Structure 1
Amino acid sequence: MHWRENPFLLTKILATVGPACNTPETFAEMIKAGVRVARINFSHGTFDDFKQALDIVREASEQTGIAVGILGDLCGPKIRTKEFAHGGISLNTDDNVRIVADESLIGYQDEETGTSYISTNYGLMVDEVQPNERIFINDGAVRLRVNGKGGEGKSRYLDCQCIVGGLVSNKKGINLPDSEISTPSVTDWDKECVKWSVENDLEYLALSFVRTADDISTLNNLLKEHGCDNNGRGGLKHLPIIAKIEKPQAIDDLDRICEKANAIMVARGDLGVEMDMATVPVIQKKIIANAHDWGKPVIVATQMLQSMINEATPTRAEVSDVAGAIMEGADAVMLSGETAVGRYPLEAATVMARTARVTEKEVSKERRKKRSSPPKRLQQNKRRTPALAHGVGVIVRDLQAKYVVVWTELGGTAQYMSQNRLCVPIIALSADKRTLRQMSLFFGVFPMHMDRPKDSLELTAALDRLFQLYNWADPGEPVVVCQGEPLGTPGITNTIRIHYVGDVQRMDWHDESEKAAGDNADVAASVAEKILTEGDKSS
């Protein structure tokens, strides 16, 4: 099936690349199923592994003709256990456990005393965790309580009691829900991954364990050292930052984080370990609403179809979870282990897309009854493009327009349209491939490559040809077109036009010379076909 036969899924699907989908052919099938952003998890693998994953996604994108963005997920200050003598130790309730400052110590269990010794990748933890505070290992499967501390130098330690027993093995995550930790927001490994991401033209970076907006600033400053500027100044490369909300401290600074980040991710795994699990659904709804207020895309992630790691079909609860996130307003939903190491990566992507499609139909019915309004923060800045985007929303509702079409140089216009949740497909045309890939995260936006038309006549003729070739709209149906005049200048979107499909000859031209050009629609259509053909070759 060629992708243009049924491309219009409004909600974006992210899939993690891993051994389960490590061929271009497999990932191409996942793209056809609905995946639009590929996640590379820097917590697992080497730079050779990451390059292989990137090449797989880029080749699959070429095969399908669909723009796919790549997100590099930084590890952040994740505390983990180090190595064990026999791969791990088994703890029972009330066992004594000593966590040591010496990061070189190999973990073991003393057969005479019964005390277990554990080292971590963050030796200063023994100084910052205090008596009576809790330590969770392996997503809370094993739980300890600190009874006291002692020792000097590398011999410093925490004496703990096991509250909930289980297996502790190499490189398992540690959460400290009661402690204030001073780990850097960007680690040395993260810095290497940032450099690699810039060099390899990734579209997004996700920052893990964000605690305050200052963590976003730290990463932005590092990006500037590598020639990137997310404020859009100086013509430098734009590498947007996705803030992963998974620490309780981030909830306290959520407003500033949403302001500084380019997008938000609700990372429910660690969030559900560090906070009362029962509060996570409420917090998820709050994060989504706050991100919308700032006009930022928001992704809901972690264990969405977890059972599909081993099973070909999901549980009903998992399907409800995906649908619930979309109904709350998530721009995107993410697959992690389901596609990275699961037995059914394609089936997981297909289930998620089908669930999204059915849910969108119901959500769209409700949204169409309401007057669209731009994000609250965008209403305050009095800028031209957000106002135009809001106007497009009103026109779409009043005319029952089937599509919005935007010409965009850098993707800003498409993002503003997306923020208004128009409930109709937004076909975003651009000559810049990187812009196309970055738009792959925006709700409702469908990036398509097109060589830059010389004027509005060529653009409109190309649109008619597009709708005719792929049977997306019938003659006479209204389409709202948004662009800048003159065409091709970034940052000056200033024109909204209502176009009826097939009606190139009766366009409302601004002057007589353009009207004369409009009369020769056949010539414009032939030019448009060339534009589209060349665009297809370079998609």
Structure 2
Amino acid sequence: MDDRTPPGISVGTRRGSSLFGPARPVPQSLVEARALCRRQRGADGAHGPSDDHGKARSGTQRGIVHLLRHDITSERGGADHRRGTGRCVLSDGDGFILTKIIATLGPATDEIGVVVRLIEEGARVFRINFSHGGFGQFVKLLEIVRSASDEVGVPVAVLGDLSGPKIRVANIDSQRVVVETGQRVAFQAAPAEPTGDPVTLTMTDSSVLDDIEPGERLLIDDGAVRMLVMERADDDDGTRMMCRVTVGGPIGRAKGINLPDSNLTLPSLTDHDRRCVDWALEHEIDYLALSFVRRAEEIRQLRALLDERAGDGGAIPIVAKIEKPQALDDLENITREADAVMVARGDLGVEMDLAKVPIIQKHVIAMAHDYGRPVIVATQMLQSMIEQPTPTRAEVSDVANAIYDGADAVMLSGETAIGRHPIQALAMMARVARLTVDHLVREKDQKSMRPSRQLGEGRYRTAALARGVAAVVEDLDAHLVVTWSQRGGGARYLSKNRLTVPIIAASSEPRALRRMSLLFGVVPIEMPMPAGREAFANEADRLLQREGWAQPGDPIVLVAGKPLGVPGLTNTLWVRYVGDEEDEMGGEAE
């Protein structure tokens, strides 16, 4: 056996004609498949020649067997890492996680060993928060994620989160300032010391003072300190605003300021954001999140910037973060313009009545679902696990209810960025997600698992085919859907269907594989470009049996295009029973 091959995968020495054409060797394991993809890309000149196939890569043997197999944790709450590998969970009868899990990177997760564990536990997207750290730190985190992904053998996406026009207290350095309820506090444009009577504060962008009117609220540190604007005046030194403290407390360095009642005219992209966009394009970040979206026009502005600067590399999909009250007034247009949507409950809960946040969450998820956009629910999902090894019952219910609402992905923030128990938090979220979706599937929950309205209204061939896939899966009780999705478009349409079985999406494009990692139910797998659909079907058959994802006689549904690999040409659906040479619905696959 090849010493690079993971336990449970045997490498044969089959000879004879190859199903991938006479010049293409047949990969006998996922290790070989990944290496062959790299060699093919090198031959095409895309990434230069590769000799990785001849090298024993550190940790590869621990991870390939997890490829897309994870995916869940045991009743005891974690994978077995006593020998440095996670469990082969499919062999334990558990299954894939259809809901995707996003982990935020930070000081608690800036080592490759920790990120490897997070991937093994089920993380499929990693968030880099551009509000914290510099470009050197971002490069380090990105290299850790990409290396961990290679080591485990699982494609994962990276989500870059733009800071947006976040306003902060500017003139408090090391010492906190404590304000009491009823006290007067001044904000002014001119530099000032935060001492005296009244306490005088400045903002990181003093131009917002012109947008604030008397009677509006000013919140500091996520609403821990609250003030009411009493008056505003202009003089030779600029605007000066007087506030009365309604809820007192300490104000620390660079604490955030929220102005929920004010109609701010700040641009949606700061100079720092534009530098981050350039960095993201240069480093092939998979998704960009736009913070504090208020109008659909702001999505169009970011897209125009990406198109202008992307060159031949292609623009990055945009995730619209819904965290401002103004966004709800233009939610339908924002959803239509964005590639994905995030319910960012942190600032949303500060700027709006907390009691309305669950209602808003359901509304945003429903809107995203109608337009076929992946939707992420984020913030404080397992907040207590920043300190504690187990979550509260309410937090577990919160994760489950987000999935019942129809979330495609759920996100951990401080739990994995700065928490004491990042791996346990990820394992717990994975377990809740798996059990919740299992329940939805068993109960045939029509609301949570209904297909996107966009599929029913569109006249696109791929959309129609996706609807047909859902019907065939239901009628035949198919175990899996397997699709060739070179750039991810076909997989996106299938994901919109909310199928009750995993969608194995094969591609030879690394960027497409990473981006598909966010899609509900999609299991991206790297595969060399087959010679045609019959070769693809046969390779899929071997893969499913080799990895234990299907048994001989199991019905599977295959989806591809003719010719294979042409973007936008997914036009064929057929049924195959694992281990059989012939396919149903048209006989031969070619």
Q: What TM-score comes out, normalization by structure 2 length?
A: 0.83
Q: 1:435 Cα deviation (Å)? A: 0.2
Q: Paired residue for 1:219, among 293, 296, 302?
A: 302
Matches within 5 A, 1:112-261: 114-227=197-310, 237-261=314-338
Is the alpha carbon distance of 1:474 and 1:432 closer, same or farther for their aligned partners in structure 2, counting shifts above 3 Å? same
Amino acid at match of 1:182: T
2-side partners of 1:360 and 1:101: how far apart? Answer: 52
> Retained in 2: the 8 A contact 1:15–1:37?
yes
Q: Which runs of 5+ in 2 are unaligned?
A: 1-61, 70-87, 90-94
Q: What TM-score comes out, normalization by structure 1 length?
A: 0.90
1-side partners of 2:475 and 2:447: how far apart? Answer: 12
Matches within 5 A, 1:288-299: 288-299=365-376
1-side partners of 2:558 and 2:520: how far apart? Answer: 18
1-side partners of 2:332 and 2:566: how far apart? Answer: 33
Q: Does 1:507 align with 2:583?
A: yes
Q: Paired residue for 1:97, among 148, 165, 185?
A: 185
Structure-1 residue corresponding to 2:103: 15
Matches within 5 A, 1:9-408: 9-84=97-172, 86-102=174-190, 105-110=191-196, 114-227=197-310, 237-367=314-444, 374-408=451-485
2-side partners of 1:178 and 1:433: how far apart? Answer: 44
2-side partners of 1:12 and 1:305: how far apart? Answer: 16
Amino acid at match of 2:492: Q
Structure-2 residue corresponding to 1:494: 571
Q: 1:458 Cα deviation (Å)? A: 1.3
Sequence identity of aligned pairs in percent?
49
What CA deviation, in whole Å up to 9, does each residue of 1:321-376 have, x standing for no partner?
00000011000000011101111110110010011011111111233778976422
Amino acid at match of 1:156: T
How many matched pairs?
A: 502
- Specify the SS of the correspondent of 1:361: helix
- Specify the SS of the correspondent of 1:405: strand
Is the alpha carbon distance of 1:509 and 1:366 closer, same or farther for their aligned partners in structure 2, counting shifts above 3 Å? closer
2-side partners of 1:186 and 1:212: how far apart? Answer: 13
Structure-1 residue corresponding to 2:487: 410
1-side partners of 2:304 and 2:250: how far apart? Answer: 40
What CA deviation, in whole Å up to 9, does each residue of 1:382-437 have, x standing for no partner?
11001100100010011110100010111010011011100110000000000000
2-side partners of 1:448 and 1:9: how far apart? Answer: 15
Shifted more, 67-76 versus 115-124: the winner is 115-124
What CA deviation, in whole Å up to 9, does each residue of 1:477-515 have, x standing for no partner?
1000000011121110000010100002x335969xx79
- Specify the SS of the correspondent of 2:576: strand
Q: 1:107 Cα deviation (Å)? A: 4.1
Q: 1:108 Cα deviation (Å)? A: 1.3
- Specify the SS of the correspondent of 1:495: strand
Is the alpha carbon distance of 1:153 and 1:89 closer, same or farther for their aligned partners in structure 2, counting shifts above 3 Å? same
- Specify the SS of the correspondent of 1:83: coil
Tell me how large the CA RMSD over aligned residues is: 1.8
> Retained in 1: the 8 A contact 2:574–2:585?
no
Q: 1:211 Cα deviation (Å)? A: 0.2
- Specify the SS of the correspondent of 2:237: helix
Amino acid at match of 1:479: I
Structure-2 residue corresponding to 1:431: 508
Is the alpha carbon distance of 1:371 and 1:51 closer, same or farther for their aligned partners in structure 2, counting shifts above 3 Å? closer
1-side partners of 2:423 and 2:164: how far apart? Answer: 29
> Retained in 1: the 8 A contact 2:406–2:448?
no
Is the alpha carbon distance of 1:458 and 1:97 closer, same or farther for their aligned partners in structure 2, counting shifts above 3 Å? same
Is the alpha carbon distance of 1:467 and 1:85 closer, same or farther for their aligned partners in structure 2, counting shifts above 3 Å? closer
Q: 1:464 Cα deviation (Å)? A: 1.6
Amino acid at match of 2:583: M
Shifted more, 212-221 versus 365-374: the winner is 365-374
2-side partners of 1:287 and 1:107: how far apart? Answer: 42
2-side partners of 1:186 and 1:341: how far apart? Answer: 27
> Retained in 1: the 8 A contact 2:216–2:228?
yes
Amino acid at match of 1:494: N
Amino acid at match of 1:127: D
Is the alpha carbon distance of 1:509 and 1:418 closer, same or farther for their aligned partners in structure 2, counting shifts above 3 Å? closer
Amino acid at match of 1:249: Q
1-side partners of 2:449 and 2:406: how far apart? Answer: 14
